[in-house]
Structure 1
Amino acid sequence: MKPLSGAEEARRPASDIRVFASSCTLHGLGHVFGPGRLTPRRGLWAVAVLLSLAAFLYQVAERVRYYGEFHHETALDEVESHQLTFPAVTLCNINPLRRSRLTPNDLHWAGPALLGLEPTEHAAFLSALGRPPAPPGFMPSPTFDTARLYARAGHALEDMLLDCRYRGQPCGPENFTATLTRMGQCYTFNSGADGAEPLTTPKGGMGNGLEVMLDVQQDEYLPVWKDMEETLYEAGIRVQIHSQEEPPVIDQLGFGAAPGYQTFVSCQEQQLSFLPPPWGDCSSSSLDPDFEPEPSGPLDPPSPSPGPTPPYTLMGCRLACETRYVVRKCGCRMMHMPGSSPVCSPQQYKDCANPALDAMLRKDTCTCSNPCASTRYAKELSMVRMPSRSATRYLARKYNRSEAYILENVLVLDVFFEALNYETVEQKKAYEVPELLGDIGGQMGLFIGASLLTILEILDYLCEVFRERVLGYFWNRKRSRQRHSGTNPAPHPSLCRHPDSFCLPPHLLPCHPALDPVSVFGAAPRLLGHAQPAYDCHLYPK
């Protein structure tokens, strides 16, 4: 193959691959499509370029696949703070009902479910409580409200709370909020309910938190009548430390504090941040996406829930899921569950609600995602015996109780922050679009020596090919039809714009005199009125 001269090379169109290869910044392309015939050196360059291109495409596919797996990483950090929001502290007496507040009507309705009492055993049980038997002709009430029973007969905070201090300042029952849980009537300090601003603390350590002295009132505990699943053998209180947004689930997450001891609870706040799908599985929707409000009547539409939607929490979602399950299974809800369905009677508790909820918890059928942002508290517990002998005599005189009563019933709970800092646990995207583009750019430079501008060069070359090959094909067909029809075709507009084109503007075309018939056919008599020969500067004769 004869090599082309310099003039012929210069007249090559821009769509020619050799012209593109000679000016493209893609490494190795000029060695493959250079001038001259095919040589072993050019073949080796072609193999090298193809192998580099294949390696680059493989690495790009791997990076795109890794990005599509949406990996995440977890970052831990400790942050200093000038003040921290004090957590909510929920307290429950382990004994759910006071023996002195039970009536024959309560035993009629709640005795079989709560205590395993048969109707014939009511008189003996009342005698064990030190109460007179039911009067002759006793008629139980036609209805019974379980929630009211626990609110009326449960331990009152005014009777249990002997002393309360927050950051050294006195507090009282008015600083607690009554709440119903599965354990009965409980009380929450710093609940933030009814729009109250949560308390804060500017210091850590003992004396900068909540300190309460409680009387567990063991003389009000129900007697153990039979060995049942709900029989309680311990004495003391259950405590749960949680955020203001999270409902207390003290029967599952609470810890115990025993009488005769002072329990120290050192806390550290942890702020958790999780990623939504596809990087994680967190959710920020309201309580439970599948939860539907219960209808107020069999034919009534669902009633909208009043007030603003509470923030999503894991325990709130589980509580809504449990409520839906118990309502559909038993036709009623337990007293600590939200909703407008009727509260289960004690017999419904025994026959349906408690077994259904326990079976559901064992199977763990609620699928609740972690909230995208939540707060929890890590705890360290320690305890010492209290009161001392001298303190026992003092407390007995102060509260007009015996020393034995003080030793068996009084406890102290001290909740405080270990230090004025909190821990952050944050999920982060391990691989994002900037990292993907950076990896692709690095592989592109390593294997084929290209950049973003090289891609623009390739796109520009493809545009040239499209214009000259595709558009030129249709223009040639159009010109062919015009020639057959006798019209003068116009030059292809791209030819005049091409830098190597020989098409010139009309005002730069050379002007030649039009052919004279005399010079072609010989002399002829001149006709009067005929004009002299004119100059014609058109590209094509008219």
Structure 2
Amino acid sequence: MATCCGDDSVEREYAAETSLHGVGKIAGARHRGVRLLWAVLFLGMFGVATWQITERFVAYFQFDTVTNMKVEFRDVLDFPTVTICNFNKYRDSQITEEEEQYVSTLLEGSTGFSDYDYDADYYDDDGDGEYQYSYDWNNTGIPDDFNLAEFTLRAGFDIHTSLKHCLWRGQTCNSDNFTHIFTSFGNCWMFNAEGRMNQTISGVGNGLQVAIDIQQDEYTENAPTGNLDAGIRFIVHSPSEPPKVDTQGISVGPGIHAYASISKIEFRNEIPPWGQCDPGRALQYYSGYTKTGCLLECRADHVADECGCRTVSMPGTLDYCQPAVVTGCVKTTIAELKTGKRSCNCPTPCSATAYPATLSYGGWPSSSTMDYFTDLLNKTEQEIKDNIVLLDVYYQQLNLQTVQQRRAISTNALLGDLGGQLGLFLGASVITIIEFLEFLVKKGTSCCFRHNNRVKT
């Protein structure tokens, strides 16, 4: 049974009418030399087009990206959240006689939770990350029902007694504009926690200015387990992102006027396979996905699974861990996270906002203004130098920088390249493809028709 047709009328019709350059010249040439020349040219152009198209596909499937930067000048910019902490976790005047017996133990128990805390005494000498620190909390006199969260809230850094001066855009503000949050520094306080404020004029005096009394005479931190510095530690961050004061914060000592000029940068990242962000990723205890929030939740989840509780600086709804659990189970779990025995899956966010700060400092107050500030703050000159930190946070310029990760070759660009190569070398287009499909249909129909006629005959 024959499976092909002897009639070439369909091919001749296609060659005469197709928009594919060169085919008509080959079919219609009267001289063999001319036909051969056009055939060589057509095959050469077809080969070049195939090579170029292959190159474009290879480049596309490498999933490369490019980074675009754009600066927009704005009349108004949303002001970030400013979180302020004191290096001193617990105030001496707020500690009872009974609690004084184990404050140093509490400070020692809190060491190791910050990402910058890495005490060699907690690990074995061969460096394999085995946790070997053990402290018998049962012999410290700490009651079994001791509530570390309530103790920290009562005895820790209190903005209501520490805030001596506050201005927002030149207008007076007060401690009611600050929101409490637990961190590895104990009590910290967030200005503009809900992100409702904005700055309309750039420069010093048009943002936030605060004078904080660190109350150095209240310090209970002792070497080597406590913080060795005196002053505040602050961080400027997005309202949707929890503050990571321990590793990202900025420190300022007393007797200094610190100027933090900030800028706003938005990052936009691509989804896989071009990037690493997961647009469907959500967090349980935070409104939006951030890498900092993810890491905090991951740490809390590991502690919750292993210990059945959480520390005061961890998100969640579980009860706070008792001191005996903190030094045993919790510290072991945190140590395993630091040494890589446990891991967290926290991909890059698809969008993120950063507020990098440029710091400059001035000696404060000057000798000519000392009398004014001693009267204003009701403190002696030495008390001001030992206890008062003056901080200005403001936008240096009202502009928004956008850093966007984009596909080096988008799908539209790939289609455009393919069409360009086919059109340049062969004169082909989508219509040409439709013409070829029409040719195949006609050819198949013609073959089937002739085959059926032969069978009937």
The answer to whether the superposition gives a TM-score over 0.5 is: yes
CA distance in 2, matches of 1:463, 1:140: 89
Alpha carbons of 1:397 and 1:28: their partners in 2 closer, same or farther (altered >3 Å)? closer
Deviation at 1:234, TM superposition (A): 0.8
- From 211, 224, 227, the counterpart of 2:224: 227
| TM-score, reference length from structure 1 | 0.72
Deviation at 1:355, TM superposition (A): 5.0
- From 404, 410, 419, the counterpart of 2:388: 410
Deviation at 1:325, TM superposition (A): 1.7
CA distance in 2, matches of 1:449, 1:158: 77
- From 14, 27, 30, the counterpart of 1:20: 14
Aligned to 1:315: 292
Deviation per residue, 1:346-388 (Å, 9 max, x gap): 3333334345325424539323122222211121100001112
Aligned to 1:239: 234
- From 19, 26, 43, the counterpart of 1:32: 26
- From 54, 72, 76, the counterpart of 1:83: 76
Q: Secondary structure at the match of 2:326?
A: helix
Deviation at 1:101, TM superposition (A): 1.6
Larger Rg: 1
Aligned to 2:126: none
**Residues 162 and 212, structure 1, Cα contact 8 Å, conserved in 2:** yes
Alpha carbons of 1:220 and 1:22: their partners in 2 closer, same or farther (altered >3 Å)? same
Aligned to 2:445: 467
1:198-237 correspondence to structure 2 within 5 Å = 198-222=196-220, 224=222, 226-228=223-225, 231-237=226-232
Deviation per residue, 1:489-539 (Å, 9 max, x gap): xxxxxxxxxxxxxxxxxxxxxxxxxxxxxxxxxxxxxxxxxxxxxxxxxxx
Aligned to 1:53: 46
Alpha carbons of 1:286 and 1:436: their partners in 2 closer, same or farther (altered >3 Å)? closer
- Quick one: percent identity of the two aligned structures? 34
Alpha carbons of 1:216 and 1:84: their partners in 2 closer, same or farther (altered >3 Å)? same
Residue type matched to 2:191 in 1?
F
Once the two structures are overlaid, the 10-residue window that deviates more, 76-85 or 329-338, is: 329-338
Answer yes or no: is 1:329 the counterpart of 2:306. Answer: yes
Residue type matched to 2:435 in 1?
E
Aligned to 2:346: 368
**Residues 221 and 227, structure 2, Cα contact 8 Å, conserved in 1:** no
**Residues 287 and 316, structure 1, Cα contact 8 Å, conserved in 2:** no
Aligned to 1:156: 158
Aligned to 2:136: none
Deviation at 1:250, TM superposition (A): 0.7
Deviation per residue, 1:272-303 (Å, 9 max, x gap): 11122222112233445xx7xxxxxxxxxxxx
- From 244, 253, 259, the counterpart of 1:258: 253
1:379-528 correspondence to structure 2 within 5 Å = 379-477=357-455, 479-480=456-457
Calculate the aligned-residue CA RMSD, in Å: 2.6
Once the two structures are overlaid, the 10-residue window that deviates more, 104-113 or 330-339, is: 104-113
Alpha carbons of 1:18 and 1:444: their partners in 2 closer, same or farther (altered >3 Å)? same
Residue type matched to 1:81 in 2?
R
Aligned to 2:91: 98
Relative contact order, higher structure (CA 8 A, sep 6+): 2
Aligned to 1:190: 192
Once the two structures are overlaid, the 10-residue window that deviates more, 419-428 or 179-188, is: 419-428
Aligned to 2:277: 282
CA distance in 2, matches of 1:152, 1:440: 69
Deviation at 1:20, TM superposition (A): 2.6
**Residues 82 and 237, structure 2, Cα contact 8 Å, conserved in 1:** yes
Alpha carbons of 1:468 and 1:166: their partners in 2 closer, same or farther (altered >3 Å)? same
Q: Secondary structure at the match of 1:239?
A: strand
Alpha carbons of 1:144 and 1:40: their partners in 2 closer, same or farther (altered >3 Å)? same
Q: Any stretches of 5+ residues in structure 1 without a counterpart?
A: 1-11, 117-138, 292-304, 481-542
CA distance in 1, matches of 2:247, 2:408: 35
CA distance in 2, matches of 1:450, 1:17: 18
State how many pairs are aligned.
421
CA distance in 2, matches of 1:394, 1:158: 23
Deviation at 1:79, TM superposition (A): 0.5
Q: Secondary structure at the match of 2:434?
A: helix
Alpha carbons of 1:53 and 1:400: their partners in 2 closer, same or farther (altered >3 Å)? closer
**Residues 110 and 346, structure 1, Cα contact 8 Å, conserved in 2:** no
| TM-score, reference length from structure 2 | 0.85
Q: Secondary structure at the match of 1:63?
A: helix
Q: Secondary structure at the match of 1:33?
A: helix
**Residues 18 and 35, structure 1, Cα contact 8 Å, conserved in 2:** no
Deviation at 1:215, TM superposition (A): 0.7
**Residues 107 and 221, structure 2, Cα contact 8 Å, conserved in 1:** no
Residue type matched to 1:216 in 2?
I
